[in-house]
């Protein structure tokens, strides 16, 4: 019995055949993560989500030919990626990653940066419920920035993590956000496991 393991990082996308019977890793592959989109303002870091999906599909096609008894896919990834997608998994936005720091721009209110203003809107109890770890590279910051600018994608769009976007497309299902990725996005109440 084997599985295909995929690791989507922001430097490389890696994959291998995981032989569960022999407890071994075979046919290790690695390709560079797609380049960021050009000509963006300073502090922005965006990627074409379809380019990431295409790279993963390429690795998967290569390894499926080498793993006839493949039982499934296991995936891990950098956790702070945000994509808005349709119910069919089509992207409504570019991918932003932990490298995106646009929330460090001055907020028009004059009360600091977008990050400062966002953080001020959470009570100490809410921050505790979210794990006390808000930082500029989290999807919550990009979500807040888009909301403040009036640039959120349509009401029917679904915010999701990078690996959840990829898996939704590979499986032909509606995107969602797996719990461990939701925790890293910054807005999850860890006591109720629901969004703030």
**What would the pLDDT profile of 120-166 be if each residue is shown by its tens digit?**
999 999 999 998 789 999 999 999 999 999 999 988 999 999 999 99
Q: What is the pLDDT of residue 102?
A: 98
DSSP assignment letter at 192 = T
Model pTM score: 0.92
| Domain CATH code at residue 130 | 3.30.420.40
Tokens of 78: 């950098």
| 79 has pLDDT over 80 | no
Share of the chain above pLDDT 90, in %: 82
Contacts of 80 by beta carbon, 8 Å cutoff, 6+ apart: 97, 98, 137, 138, 139, 184, 185
Tokens of 86: 């349709």
Tokens of 194: 């629901």
DSSP assignment letter at 76 = E
Counting the structural domains of the chain, the total is 1
Q: What residues make up the domain containing 147?
A: 2-195
Beta strands 83-85 and 158-160: pairing type? antiparallel
């Amino acid at each position: 019995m084997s599985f295909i393991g995929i690791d989507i990082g922001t430097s490389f996308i890696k994959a291998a055949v995981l032989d569960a019977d022999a407890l071994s890793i075979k046919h290790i592959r690695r390709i560079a993560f797609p380049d960021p989109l050009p000509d963006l303002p300073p502090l922005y870091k965006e990627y074409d989500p379809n380019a990431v999906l295409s790279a993963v599909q390429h690795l998967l096609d290569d390894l499926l030919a080498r793993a006839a008894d493949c039982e499934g896919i296991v995936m891990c990834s950098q956790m702070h990626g945000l994509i808005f997608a349709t119910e069919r998994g089509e992207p409504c936005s570019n991918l932003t990653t932990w490298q995106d720091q646009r929330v460090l721009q001055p907020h028009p209110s004059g009360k600091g940066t977008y990050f400062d203003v966002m953080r001020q809107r959470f009570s100490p109890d809410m921050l505790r419920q979210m794990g006390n770890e808000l930082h500029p590279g989290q999807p919550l910051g990009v979500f807040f920035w888009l909301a403040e600018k009036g640039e959120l994608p349509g009401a029917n769009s679904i915010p999701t993590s990078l690996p959840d976007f990829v898996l939704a497309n590979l499986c032909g299902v509606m995107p969602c956000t797996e719990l461990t990725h939701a925790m890293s996005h910054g807005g999850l109440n860890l006591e109720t496991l629901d969004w703030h």
